[in-house]
Structure 1
Amino acid sequence: MTGLLTVLMVVAAVILVMTAGGFDYTLQRVWAFQRRHFRPEGEGIRLSWLTRPRGRKRYQVDLREIRDFVISLQLGTSLDETLSGALMRAAEQLKDRGAFGERLQKHVETRLSIAPEEVIAGLAEDFRSEHLSELLLRLEMARDGGISYERALSLSIALIEEEIRGDLERDIQQMPINLTVPMIVGVFLPAIIIGLFPLVMNVLGILFSPGGP
């Protein structure tokens, strides 16, 4: 009985070490892959229907892409272009920038004839972006004469760059924490396994020997 308890304690210790090192996440990914691979065809169709997104599709965008877009507008308006002209220039420059470039091109083609602000509104809806929504409000103020276009665009660029810097600083601060646990596990886990292996073998030998408990 004591030998069995020792084995259970060893197994529990190994599980705790694997959890701390993130190995349990790896096993979960492998198990999920196997479930998807061997899932019956009918079940896959049913789950796909149940999890199908409904309503307006939500796109993803990096803050740096929004910043580059606003900088392009700022450059265009500084060259005495209208906001519509700046949007057309930005759409041409960013057309190969993934989903953001595609949606920008689409809205320029379909909404620019209504109003240039409608292009920004479409992007804000697509990407659920607070920065694009705030940019839209500032551009509407500039259209109504409340502020200049230069001021509206400069303020948006400053706020976006401030958030980018904040995200970068947080990533740098978290980097030592994210690296410490895997490094500790990588150093000590092999030693723990090697140290426990003889004990486990001895216990198993006692349990399964003819004269064992």
Structure 2
Amino acid sequence: MRIENLKVEDLFATIDWCIKKYFPDNYDARCLYSACAIHTILVSCGVKAQIVGGNVGIFTVSIDGREALLQGFGGSDATQPSHYWVETSELILDPGAAYLPKSSQIKVVPMPMVAWRKTNPLPSYLQYQDKIRYAVDAEYMFAEDIATRISDFIELCKKRYTSRAAKKKLVTWLLTSPDSLNNAAKLGNKWAKCALHFQSMKSVPTIPV
């Protein structure tokens, strides 16, 4: 998948490698860092993008297939979002969706990263609720200690993304549309097959408004 001259798989592979290197113990809780890095790289490539904060609920299913939960990040308000992601005019970009198994309430199957095309309505297995949208040209304003760490992380991501020597291999697949889910299910992906069943149910849990 491409956004103009940028390959989303390479971008996500870069962010994934860097976030796990920089925060090996709690990379799943560092969505603000990844959002800032994605936003910076997109803007540097001439892509208009904005960081979005809010609530997220994503379908998860246990290894044995017997339990399913809507997991994610809730309780946001406009001053303190529980999760951050990036949006362009066409896509919702969130590699952090794949990190939900790390701190899941139950042991769940591996999950995709999200690069959802906005031409498709959000399905019940992928729920995003924005609480604040930062300006496309917003400047990052953080406390000094956090600002330094975010700046260093962004530089690490930029260096790896532009490196011709660094291998950029995505560790999972991209959830981009209902078609991508169907294709993954046909190939036997357990999360995709169970998400299809979840989507077909008449009543499913939703994140609070």
TM-score by length of 2: 0.29
Higher helix share: 1
Higher strand share: 2
